[in-house]
């Protein structure tokens, strides 16, 4: 008899959600976690601490830039960095403890330590071997290295080091204008650091709607971030407290050097499978080093499943969570389902950026006829009152059927507004369905409705 119906390796958003759902479905479940606390990258060194620092630094930005105009006079607050880090850590702690509570509530055993899979149906942690009918690998990802860049997590850091710097640096070079680079670059820029972002491509945040990407770069530049585009970083050289970053401009191959107190490497993440023993088990991998799975999240070895950052798809917490639920349901004999075409993406800069579904670029490439309904937040009363008029909602709908195909928002609360579109698309709604739905006034959501109106006879406030 097995010790468990299911053992999950890794307690990030994929693993802990799978554990809770499996327990709810009546399975005897354990989750192995090597870290001191539950919650994975997301809760410990990812989504949660970064959002705490984004929130705190945004408050400072508001105080410095908008308070006086609203009649809130007085000295702007100064930065107490150790206290800000304490606030960040307490946010992390409440959330990781929350998962511990949920494990107890759902009778999920937390096995502490690093797991290996000696054979299907067995999980080894330290000297103990536990048996399980099924195993889910949810071991997440780690920062991808870059040739010539040596990480010390003090001067040359990944996001993990950047979330726990000893002090606010005077000068920071960020390598890569992706999600991590722009979010953490924004944090330090707001705290007074001179931030320069060096990006290989000619635009920020690859894969995003090109118009939104241009607008985001423009707005971040206005906020004080510097961008060097079309530049390939060659190497970093670090001393105890300083670093030099050498890059070549792609257009003319000229070499340039930037000085920094801290360099943040944010050029992507890669699946983390170290120490699991997958080679010996003959678990099939993709060309990109991800664990290959079928439509039930089962690997090439029967009874071993994989979810989250360690498999194909966007490296996002909510994608991992959805897979966690669905894989547990599949193992329980139910029909676990993830709609991969409707996974929203959000960048928590100011303003926020959010997207779901097709972009104009993907639609053009597919030769699909579409129409665009665009509405600027300048026409939205609530946004204007909140100094948040820069930005827009862009809705894409099928030219013939009017069915919504995608949405791209840059503006206030974009990360919340996008879910109205996700629900609409999940139900196969048309732009007209959205346009005919009453939206409360004055809300940012009215801009979404206006974009839907713009797909038809026209927006009212534009």
Our answer to whether residue 419 is catalytic in this structure is no
Stretch that binds ligand FAD, among 26-34, 166-174, 251-259, 406-414 (CB under 6 A): 26-34
Interface pattern 189-228 for ligand FAD (x via CB under 6 A): ----------------------------------------
Q: Which of 159, 196, 349, 355 binds ligand FAD (CB under 6 A)?
A: 159
Name 301's Cβ contacts closer than 8 Å, sequence gap at least 6: 120, 281, 282, 283
Binding mask 102-121 toward ligand FAD (x if CB under 6 A, else -) reads: ------------xx------
Measured CA to CA in angstroms, residue 381 lies from 208, 345, 389, 460 at distances of 27, 26, 9, 13
CB 104 within 8 A of CB 183: no
CB-wise, 48 or 459, nearer to ligand FAD? 48
Between 87 and 114, CB nearer to ligand FAD: 114
Q: Which does 320 bind (CB under 5 to 8 A by kind): ligand FAD, ligand NAI, none?
A: ligand FAD
Phi-psi region of 251 (alpha: psi -120 to 50; beta: other; left: phi over 0): alpha
Is 210 known as a binding-site position? no
Partner in contact with 33, chosen from ligand FAD, ligand NAI, none, beta carbon below 5 to 8 Å by kind: ligand FAD
Measured on CA atoms in the order 413, 211, 454, 418, is the torsion positive or negative?
negative
Element (H or E) spanning 355, and its range? strand 352-357
Please state the length of the chain: 462
Q: How many angstroms separate the CA atoms of 404 and 434, rounded? A: 9
User: Least distance to ligand FAD from the beta carbon of 315, Å?
Assistant: 4
Q: Which residue in 337, 419, 441, 461 is the catalytic one?
A: 441
In the complex, minimum distance from the CB of residue 304 to ligand FAD, in angstroms, rounded to a whole number? 13
**Crossing angle of helices 47-65 and 81-105, rounded to 10°:** 140
Residues lying near ligand NAI in the complex (CB under 6 A): 146, 175-181, 183, 198-201, 206, 232-233, 266-269, 314-316, 346-348
Residue position matching structure tokens 């937390």: 110
The entry of ligand NAI, ligand FAD, none near residue 140 (CB within 5 to 8 angstroms by kind) is ligand FAD
For residue 276, the partner it binds in ligand FAD, ligand NAI, none, with Cβ less than 5 to 8 A by kind, is ligand FAD
Q: Which range binds ligand FAD by CB under 6 A, 32-40, 52-60, 336-344, 438-446? A: 32-40
List residues bridging with 398 in a β-sheet.
370
Angstrom distances, CA of residue 400 to CA of 369, 397, 430, 431, 455: 8, 9, 11, 11, 12
Q: Please say whether the beta carbons of 303 and 296 come within 8 A.
A: no
Judged by CB under 6 A, does residue 15 bind ligand FAD? yes
Task: Give the integer Cα–Cα distance in Å for 68 and 63.
Answer: 8
Known binding residue 268? Answer is yes
**Residue 114, contacted partner among ligand FAD, ligand NAI, none, CB below 5-8 A by kind:** ligand FAD
In this structure, the dihedral spanned by the alpha carbons of residues 344, 180, 46 and 148, taken in order and rounded to 10 degrees, is 140
Considering only 27, 30, 42, 212, the residue that binds ligand FAD (CB under 6 A) is 42
Q: What is the arrangement of strands in the sheet containing 194-198, beginning at the earlier edge strand?
A: 156-157, 262-265, 171-175, 194-198, 226-228
- Cα(39)–Cα(381) distance, rounded to whole angstroms? 39
Residue whose C-beta lies closest to ligand NAI: 178
Identity of the residue, 123 or 431, whose beta carbon is nearer to ligand FAD in the bound complex:
123
Using the contact rule CB under 6 A, the part of the chain among 92-100, 132-140, 148-156, 169-177 near ligand FAD is 132-140
Would you say 34 or 192 has its CB closer to ligand FAD?
34
**Which helix (H) or strand (E) segment is 317 a member of?**
helix 317-331
Which residues fall in the annotated binding site for FAD?
A: 51, 139-141, 309, 315-318
Q: Which residues are catalytic?
A: 441
- Give the interface with ligand FAD as residue ranges (CB under 6 A): 9-15, 32-35, 40-42, 46-47, 50, 114-115, 138-141, 159, 180, 272, 275-276, 308-310, 315-318, 320, 348
Which residues fall in the annotated binding site for NAD(+)?
A: 176-183, 199, 268
């Amino acid at each position: 008899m097995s010790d468990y119906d299911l053992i999950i390796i890794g307690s990030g958003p994929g693993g802990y959600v799978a554990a809770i759902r499996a327990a709810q479905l009546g399975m005897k479940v354990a989750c192995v976690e090597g870290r001191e606390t539950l919650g994975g990258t997301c809760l410990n060194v990812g989504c949660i601490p970064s959002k705490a620092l984004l929130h705190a630094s945004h408050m400072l930005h508001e105080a410095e830039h908008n308070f006086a105009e609203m009649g809130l006079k007085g000295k702007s607050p100064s930065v107490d960095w150790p206290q800000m880090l304490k606030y960040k850590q307490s946010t992390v702690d409440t959330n990781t403890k929350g998962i511990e509570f949920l494990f107890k509530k759902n009778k999920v055993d937390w096995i502490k330590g690093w797991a290996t899979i000696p054979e299907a149906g067995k999980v080894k942690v330290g000297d103990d071997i536990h048996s399980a009918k099924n195993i889910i690998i949810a071991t997440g990802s780690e920062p991808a290295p870059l040739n010539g860049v040596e990480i010390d997590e003090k001067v040359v850091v990944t996001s993990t080091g950047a979330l726990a710097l000893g002090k606010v640096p005077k000068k920071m070079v960020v390598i890569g204008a992706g999600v991590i680079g722009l979010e953490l670059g924004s944090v330090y820029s707001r705290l007074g650091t001179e931030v320069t972002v060096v990006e290989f491509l000619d635009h920020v945040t690859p894969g995003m709607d090109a118009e939104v990407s241009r607008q985001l770069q423009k707005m971040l530049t206005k906020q004080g971030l510097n961008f060097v585009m079309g530049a390939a970083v060659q190497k970093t050289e670090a001393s105890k407290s300083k670093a030099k970053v050498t890059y070549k401009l792609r257009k003319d191959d000229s070499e340039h050097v930037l000085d920094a107190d801290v360099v943040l490497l944010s050029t992507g993440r890669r699946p983390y499978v170290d120490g699991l023993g997958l080679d010996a088990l003959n678990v099939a991998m993709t060309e990109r080093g991800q664990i290959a799975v079928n439509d039930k999240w089962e690997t090439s070895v029967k009874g071993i499943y994989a979810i989250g950052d360690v498999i194909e798809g966007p490296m996002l917490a909510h994608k991992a969570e959805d897979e966690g639920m669905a894989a547990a349901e599949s193992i329980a004999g139910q029909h676990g389902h993830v709609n991969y075409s409707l996974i929203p993406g959000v960048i928590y800069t100011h303003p926020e950026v959010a997207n779901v579904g097709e972009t104009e670029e993907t639609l053009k490439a597919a030769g699909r006829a579409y129409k665009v309904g665009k509405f600027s937040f300048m026409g939205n009363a609530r946004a204007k009152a909140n100094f948040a008029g820069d930005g827009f909602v862009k809705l894409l709908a099928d030219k013939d059927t009017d069915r919504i195909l995608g949405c791209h928002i840059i503006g206030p609360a974009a990360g919340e507004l996008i879910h109205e579109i996700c629900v609409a698309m999940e139900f196969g709604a048309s732009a007209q369905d959205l346009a005919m739905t009453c939206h409360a006034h004055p809300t940012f959501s009215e801009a979404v409705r206006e974009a839907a109106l713009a797909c038809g006879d026209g927006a009212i406030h534009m």
